[in-house]
Chain A
Amino acid sequence: MNEVKKETKKIQATETMKSVMAASFKELDDAVKSKSKKIAWCTSVGPAELLRSMGFLVYFPENHGAMLGSSRMAADLIPAANAKGFSPDICSYLTSDIGSYLTGNTPLKKAYGMEMPKPDVLVFNTNQCRDVKDWFDWYGREFDKPSIGVFTHRNIGEIKNYELDDIAQQFKDLIPTLESIAGVKFDMDRFRETVKLSRQCSELWKSCLALSEKTPSPWNFFDHTIHMGPAVVLRGTKEAVDYYSLLKKELDERAAAGVSSIGNEKLRIYWDGMPVWGKLRTFSDLFQSLDTCVVASTYCNSWIFTQLDENDPFRSMARAYTELFIARDEEYKIKYMTDLHSRYKFNGIIFHDAKTCPNNSNNRYGMPERLQKHLGTPTLTINGDLNDLRLFSEQQSITNVEAFIEQLNEVA
């Protein structure tokens, strides 16, 4: 029996997004070749605004990790990092990225004709996990460059003033080192402007995602993962603001015209946890064949930083980067998903238990069972990984998803 692929309307802005991303990588590559600008490596939820305002070009190894996953190169590269003492059980972004460096094999070559740009400084924020620090520290030793960062509190319920004071001060403490590397003095006005652009980018990204509240949803999780690129690597720039203005206009039109991203939306799903980067197409086609739209996710909502405020840049940045879902306690997470449930009206929740990403695997302490009871919404956990496809069984996952949709259809 062959599945019939349904006709869907492509998102036109995709081509622009590709050009915007390509231009940003070209800028990085040009800077490496001409030595015209300093390069800072930054974690994906690190203080990019501070770095940009001081003239650094910013490179995000996690974005490279996602490229290694989606290009399915990761599983071949991870063993090189394992051989250097990194366990196969830790973050597969880290192991595939370091494996990529060790073997000189990067998807940047094919995508942008460039090598991994070497850093002048590496700046992390542990708001996601400790792995990012270990990851950056390794490169710091390898390149003999400073690896500095911010240590965020974890399992945070209500955010306290002392936590904000602490994080804001940690941001400020980075400045002397960054000034000495950049060769320029910190400029408060430029910082305010960067924070403002970053907030504008976030507001637009947030409103684009919110359009999936509509039934049918004009785009879906798999589109979100592709179009979130500029929100991660270009926040704090005018290019990102311009891109999301363009995307929002198109999505508004699609929503107004009642365009469904999957052709025939019967069920709506929430995805918690990381994407399985090497299997985006498999899952996208699977859900489409089941007339099911994945309308929202914890992951893509994690790059919304609307708390940023140019009038109080350090403290607002501390709040924006502390209120991140991944850094919060279980009670907050339940409330957060309850709110999304009331807005997005999903029929079921799928938890992706990513073997090498415990902090993004929210199923491990009984949350699916608690949410199912609290919301009356069925949940499913699938086992896999963000990058390491050796930890993913495609057939098991497909059967699990199909059985889950059968179950939801019984109720519907």
Chain B
Amino acid sequence: MGKALFAGVDIGSSFTKVVLVDSEGEIKGSSVRRSGTDFNSSADICLGESLKQADAGHDAIRYCVSTGYGRKNVSLANETRTEIGCHGRGCYNAFPEQITIIDIGGQDNKIISLDGNGNRLSFKMNRKCAAGTGAFLEEMSGRLDVPISGFNALAMKSDATVTINSFCTVFAGTEVLEYIRDGKKVQDIVKGLFVSVVKRVIEMDSLSGKIIMTGGVVAYNPEIVRIASELLKTDISVPPMPQMTGALGAALFARDENHKLDTSLTAKAEICC
């Protein structure tokens, strides 16, 4: 039997992420692609790419945990965990201390508080509204006719940030149109959008301990971390591969669960003998 791998599959509203770890918890492969409309297919493609990096076949996967919005659509998964649990697990792996995680995803935000042992103390998700999520930035990208991939570089150039007040994405778009009409520079509007995202997220809960930021929005827009740090007046850490934290947490849960199963089987075998 070849080397054992443990898979974490995070099917988010925008992107699907897969991470493979070995029995030591070391990342052996990872992949990310748009979730699209066929979650199983996206997961399969990501898994194939990850296995290629790990130089292993499907039979190497001992256990799989799926998470994210599409967690119940992964046929390979042995069990599901919520993205709250998986982001916590993935972050604690990088920062094993008391932490508060701010995750900005495609359609939801989370604030997760863990104690020094990695146990969850509390969590909050955004309410029904998409304010402060990646979906908000995607919508604004269309309004500004600027690719979202260019947002971070633009925001870094800003020297006169505009203020976006509205909670509502549509009405925030109206504010953006007003700024365009007033001749404001695009970089200042984009910076204003970033500030709006950060404000919507940090007002969700009180923050304590070491602050960590994760998620695709943070991965592609590090300027958002700098703005959050400035507003919160504290240092903020970002784990390696911040978009993959949920998938990594799921993979680590998969490894832990498999270990429990092995231990249980060994104990049974000892009783039988």
A interface, CB within 8 angstroms of B: 1, 372, 378, 383, 391-393, 395-396, 399-400, 402-404, 406-407, 410-411
Contacts and interface: CB of A to CB of B under 8 A. Distances in A.
Contact of A403 (B74, B75, B85): B85
A400 B85 contact: no
B72 A403 contact: no
A289 to B, nearest CB: 11
B77 A407 contact: no
B128 A393 contact: yes
Interface in B99-152: 108, 119-120, 122-123, 125, 127-128
B80 A1 contact: yes
B120 A407 contact: yes
Nearest to B112: A403
B82 A402 contact: yes
Contacts of B108: 396, 399
B72 A1 contact: yes
Interface in B68-109: 69, 72, 74-75, 77, 79-85, 108
A406 B122 CA distance: 11
Contacts of A399: 69, 82-84, 108, 125
Nearest to A411: B119
The 7 closest A-B pairs by CB, nearest first: A403-B84, A403-B82, A407-B120, A383-B127, A406-B85, A393-B128, A402-B82
B128 A383 contact: yes
Contacts of B83: 399, 403
Contacts of B84: 399, 403, 406
A378 B124 CA distance: 12
Contacts of A393: 128
28 contacts: A1-B74, A1-B75, A1-B77, A1-B80, A372-B122, A378-B122, A392-B128, A393-B128, A396-B108, A396-B125, A396-B127, A396-B128, A399-B69, A399-B84, A399-B125, A400-B125, A402-B82, A403-B82, A403-B83, A403-B85, A403-B123, A403-B125, A406-B81, A406-B82, A406-B84, A407-B120, A407-B123, A410-B119
A2 to B, nearest CB: 9
A372 B77 CA distance: 34
Contacts of B123: 403-404, 407
Interface of B: 69, 72, 74-75, 77, 79-85, 108, 119-120, 122-123, 125, 127-128
B6 to A, nearest CB: 17
Contact of A391 (B81, B82, B128): B128
A392 B128 CA distance: 7
Nearest to A353: B127
A410 B120 contact: yes
A395 B128 CA distance: 10
Contacts of A392: 128
The interface residues of chain A, by DSSP majority, are classed as helix
Contacts of A406: 81-82, 84-85, 120
Given A399-B82, A407-B120, 4 more contacts: A383-B128, A391-B128, A403-B83, A406-B84
Contacts of A400: 125
A407 B125 CA distance: 14
A96 B194 CA distance: 39
Contacts of A404: 123
A389 to B, nearest CB: 11
Nearest to B206: A369
A395 B84 CA distance: 14
A372 B83 CA distance: 23
Nearest to B73: A1
Contacts of A396: 108, 125, 127-128
A279 B69 CA distance: 19
Instruction: Pick the most buried of A391, A392, A402: most chain B CB atoms within 10 A of its CB.
Output: A402
Contacts of A378: 122
Nearest to A407: B120
The winner among A372, A378, A403, A406 for most chain B CB atoms within 10 A is: A403
Contacts of A391: 128
Contact of A1 (B69, B79, B127): B79
Contacts of B82: 399, 402-403, 406
A127 B184 CA distance: 53
Nearest to A406: B85
A403 B80 CA distance: 11
A406 B114 CA distance: 13
A404 B110 CA distance: 13
Contacts of B119: 410-411
B61 to A, nearest CB: 16
Contacts of B120: 406-407, 410
A36 to B, nearest CB: 48
A395 B69 CA distance: 8
Nearest to B68: A399
B76 to A, nearest CB: 10
Contacts of A395: 69
A400 B166 CA distance: 25
B151 to A, nearest CB: 26
A378 B84 CA distance: 15
Nearest to A395: B69
Contacts of B72: 1
A378 to B, nearest CB: 7
Contacts of A403: 82-85, 123, 125
Contacts of B125: 396, 399-400, 403
Contacts of B75: 1
A411 B79 CA distance: 20
A383 B108 CA distance: 14
A291 to B, nearest CB: 14
